[in-house]
Amino acid sequence: MTPLAFQIVVTTVILAMGGLSHADAQSNSRTLVAMNQLAQYAIIKPVAENQVKAGIRDYIQTRLPRESPPVNLHGCGTLELDMGLRHNDLTDALARVAAHHYWWNQLLLSAGYPREIVTSLTDEIEGRLIKGVIPKSNVNEKFVANALSLEANGLIKQLRLLKAKQHWRAKDVIYDECGGPGIFIEFKVPNGVRLFIASDFYVDLCRKQGLPPFDRLKCNHWVEVHNRAQEQLAGIYDYLAELPDGTTKNARINANKMEDGAVFNLTKVLNR
């Protein structure tokens, strides 16, 4: 077990035994992450993995066998869209690290590389990425993308050397930019109603943090969507509608079952 893996296990056990302190419970999701990054990464990691595993499994089982080598380790924006990352902050940065760690593990195993080598190399990368992300006060998407690119290309060099030396029959791997998935959905919001959306990743994360997911102040990942706005979505989102009489309604949107250019008409949804 790597030092980072040991630390994550320890912090997870501590959280499970003691739960959140009263002060933490009064905080909000993004502040909790900023206050105790490593302990929060222990929470973020399984939530992120759970959000991307179905898409990764589908890619490996259905699409990868039809594609010609080499195998591309670049996520092409798929992981971020599947998690619905929108804030470009420390929470999103740690989620991207966790998702790419899982993605690279699964993809390299499917490409024929030995499990013990894959696990060792990707765990080391995870540790370096976490150490590189946590101390930074200006973490953003570009910063994380550059760090992922640097680590991915270093990983590829190591695998090429090992493959040549050990005569593995694994597929070659690359890290190339590519287009991402997702569809555009137009939202129609009636006058006097405020509409907010949050991905399943954020909602599940808040639950795991011990925060009420539909409290926008505590689970502060909700983003307001205005009338006629077009959003690029993939996966499952929750929506929260705040009505003029002070009541709220919430339900889910499965973007994977909608067509590109679809219209989400809140008036029709509320009248069902």
Per-residue model confidence as pLDDT tens digits over 2-39:
656 545 544 443 343 334 444 444 589 999 999 999 99
Look up residue 261 and give its amino acid: G
Domain boundaries, the chain: 3-174, 183-270
Residue 11, amino acid = T
Q: What does the pLDDT average to over 170-180?
A: 85
Q: How confident is the model at residue 62 (pLDDT cuts 50, 70, 90)?
A: confident
Give residue-wise pLDDT tens across range 100-126: 999 999 999 999 999 999 999 999 999
Residue 220 has pLDDT above 70, yes or no: yes
pLDDT band at 1 (very low <50, low <70, confident <90, very high): low
In the chain, the largest separation of any two C-alpha atoms, in whole Å, equals 70
Give the CA angle between residues 66, 97, 215 to the nearest 5°: 110
Dist CA 237 CA 82 (whole Å): 10
pLDDT at 182: 75
pLDDT at residue number 26: 52
Structural tokens at position 133: 């992300």
- The mean pLDDT value for 41-51 works out to 96
Can you give the pLDDT at residue 3? 52
Most confident of the ranges 5-9, 163-167, 178-182: 163-167
Query: Could you report the per-residue pLDDT of 250-268, keeping only the tens digit for each?
Result: 999 998 889 999 999 998 8
Lowest mean pLDDT among 12-16, 23-27, 63-67, 143-147: 12-16
Q: How far is CA 53 from CA 156, 208, 235, in A?
A: 22, 18, 12
232-250 per-position pLDDT tens digit: 898 899 999 999 999 999 9
pLDDT averaged over every residue in the chain: 88
Contact 33, 90 (CB under 8 A): yes
Class in CATH terms, 183-270: mainly beta
Three-state DSSP at 198 gives: strand
Task: Return the ∠ at Cα 138 (arms to 133 and 140), rounded to 5°.
Answer: 70
